Amino acid sequence: MNSKEVEQALKQLASETEEAKKSDFFKDYLNIMSRFWDYSPYNQLLIYLQMPSALRVAGFYKWKQLGRNVMKGSKAIRILAPAKSRKIKEDKEEKITYFRPVSVFDISQTEGKPLPDIDIEAEGQTEGIIENLLHFCQEQNFNVTFEELREGLHGYTSNNSIAINKNKSNNTQISALLHEIAHALLHKNSSLSKEQKEIQAEAVAYVAARHFNIETKSFNYLALHDANHDKIMENLKVITETARLILKGINAH
């Protein structure tokens, strides 16, 4: 795959991403997702400790607004919400912020109207690619494991360890592995924003997967990370180099 072909592929990805963002479905999705709280890292930890499998969490009334009911007997997840109160001290009124426990519930504890979901799966399977990628990872000292991960998570990287969701289709695993390899190659000590890291990793996965004739839903993933044409094309050089490094590494020139 030469640089021209990579550039061509990226232009295609950039316009697919722009299209995805324009769709009504995507606008609805963002609108609904914005109703879930943006939890602080501390609360994310509290949620994780009480329910490691939690995927989408909201309070009782928020779920009601979304057309779903919390099922009877569900055990609440307790987090801390800031609240304000007033105190009279030496004739002066003081406003103080304190934290009070509030109850939230995971989507698995609710029933009712399905939430919209953005499709980022790649269907089908392609023989022999995973094996070659694993060989490449070995050469790079990346340790890859296939694990039980939550539904929406295809994989993650920490340092030189890559985990891939073992319950996904073969082609989804290939594109997830490509994505995580790109993170491991590019972002170990990187100060780039999360958004930019995701753009680079997913675009590398898209370009390489395309080389194997695997159709990914990278445009949806990139739209979720607020990518657009310029943000994708800005990264042309690093994406080209990384995709070619991987393809060369597995002997698919």
Residue count at the site for Zn ion (CB under 5 A)?
A: 2
Nearer to Zn ion among residue 122 and residue 201 (C-beta) = 201
Nearer to Zn ion among residue 46 and residue 184 (C-beta) = 184
Contact call for residues 38 and 31 (beta carbons, < 8 A)? no
Rounded least distance, CB 169 to Zn ion, Å: 18
Nearer to Zn ion among residue 16 and residue 198 (C-beta) = 198
User: Strands across the sheet with 77-89, in order?
Assistant: 57-58, 92-106, 77-89
Q: Is 178 in the site for Zn ion (CB under 5 A)?
A: no
Nearer to Zn ion among residue 56 and residue 225 (C-beta) = 225
Listed in sequence order, the residues at least 6 apart from 239 whose beta carbon sits closer than 8 Å to its beta carbon are 6, 10, 200, 203, 204, 207
Binding range to Zn ion, per CB under 5 A, among 138-146, 186-194, 195-203, 230-238: 195-203
Binding range to Zn ion, per CB under 5 A, among 64-72, 99-107, 197-205, 223-231: 197-205
Q: Match 């996965």 to its residue by tokens.
A: 205
Rounded least distance, CB 202 to Zn ion, Å: 7
Nearer to Zn ion among residue 85 and residue 193 (C-beta) = 193
Helix 129-139 with 236-249: angle, nearest 10 deg:
100
Binding range to Zn ion, per CB under 5 A, among 23-31, 43-51, 141-149, 196-204: 196-204
Nearer to Zn ion among residue 179 and residue 210 (C-beta) = 179
Q: Is 162 in the site for Zn ion (CB under 5 A)?
A: no
Phi, psi of 177 (to 5 degrees): -65, -40
* Beta-bridge partners for 68: 112
Greatest extent of the chain over all pairs of C-alpha atoms, in Å: 78
Q: Annotate each residue in 198-217 with x if it binds Zn ion (CB under 5 A) or - if it does not, as one string.
A: x--x----------------
Q: Match 């997913």 to its residue by tokens.
A: 202
Rounded least distance, CB 37 to Zn ion, Å: 23
Contact call for residues 203 and 231 (beta carbons, < 8 A)? no
Q: Is 227 in the site for Zn ion (CB under 5 A)?
A: no
Binding range to Zn ion, per CB under 5 A, among 12-20, 66-74, 169-177, 190-198: 190-198
Q: Is 46 in the site for Zn ion (CB under 5 A)?
A: no
Binding range to Zn ion, per CB under 5 A, among 41-49, 116-124, 164-172, 193-201: 193-201
Residue of 153, 167, 62 whose CA lies nearest to 110: 62
Would you mind telling me the total number of residues written for the chain in this entry?
A: 253
Q: What whole-number distance in Å separates Cα of residue 80 and Cα of residue 94?
A: 22
Rounded least distance, CB 179 to Zn ion, Å: 6
Q: What whole-number distance in Å separates Cα of residue 89 and Cα of residue 187?
A: 52
Rounded least distance, CB 194 to Zn ion, Å: 9
* Beta-bridge partners for 95: 86
Cα end-to-end span (Å), the chain = 6
Name the site residues for Zn ion (rule: CB under 5 A): 198, 201
